[in-house]
Structure 1
Amino acid sequence: MTHAEEWRVDLYLVEEDGTTRARAVLDNGKTTITGSGRARCNPQDVDVPAIGEELAAGRAMRDLSARLMRAADRDLAAVGAVPEPPRTGYGWPDDARPEK
């Protein structure tokens, strides 16, 4: 049986005072998952906004990916499947996220 879906990821970037913040939002039509990332320019470095955007966006996508994998692990456990051993953690654990 063939099944096709379209999932959308929106990426939002904000740069202020040498810090770039990124938010990646996955919307699959049923639920949304959000990841976040941040990049800060070292005061001794030349400020190149494109580099901060790339770093913050990559970190937000990595955080989003880790959250999606944790959701899949929870769903596997809920249906009685045994998930793989714990994955290497990426991004912030849910209870240790920095303030926005």
Structure 2
Amino acid sequence: MTATKQWSVTVDIDEEENTTVAEATVVTPSGQDVTGVGKADRNPLDPNVPDIGDELAVARALRNLAERLLHTTEKDITSLTGEPAHVHR
């Protein structure tokens, strides 16, 4: 059986002074919210280029989201099988 599915990730970015924080959230088909967080700190001596802070914070949030989804998968497999599950990273 072939299926096409689409998941959407929402990314919220907050900037304050020299710090940018991003939250990347996906809602799984079962309705569970999974959120990853990433942070970027600008060295005060570096030029102020907000796009760079956004890119770094979002990249870190997406990486954290991926790790959290893998952990969620392990928990789901464990509850179905009754055996500890470890997925390859």
Using structure 2 for the length normalisation, give the TM-score: 0.85
Residue segments in structure 2 that go unaligned for 5+ positions in a row: none
Code of the residue aligned with 2:11 in structure 1: it is L
Query: Partners in 1 of 2:35 and 2:21 — Cα distance?
Result: 13
Deviation at 1:47, TM superposition (A): 1.5
Contact (CA 8 Å) 1:22, 1:60: kept in 2 or not? yes
**Contact persistence 1:13–1:53 (CA under 8 A):** yes
User: Tell me, what secondary structure is at the counterpart of 2:86?
Assistant: coil
Q: Which residues of structure 1 form unaligned runs of 5+?
A: 88-100
Structure 1 Cα separation of the partners of residues 34 and 49 of structure 2: 29
Percent of pairs identical after alignment? 37
Which residue does the alignment assign to 2:86?
84
Residue 48 of structure 1 corresponds to 49
Whichever residue aligns with residue 11 of structure 1, its letter is V
Is the Cα–Cα contact under 8 Å of residues 25 and 34 in structure 2 kept in the other structure?
A: yes
Distance 1:15 1:84 in 2: 36
Change (3 A) 1:39 1:7: same
Preserved CA contact (<8 Å) 1:6 1:28: no
- The TM-score normalised by the length of structure 1 is 0.76
Structure 1 letter corresponding to 2:53: G
Specify the alignment match of 1:57 in structure 2: 58
- Cα shift readout 1:36-95 (whole Å, capped 9, x = no counterpart): 1110101121121111000000010011000000000111111215523785xxxxxxxx
Q: Residue 10 of structure 1 corresponds to which residue in structure 2?
A: 10
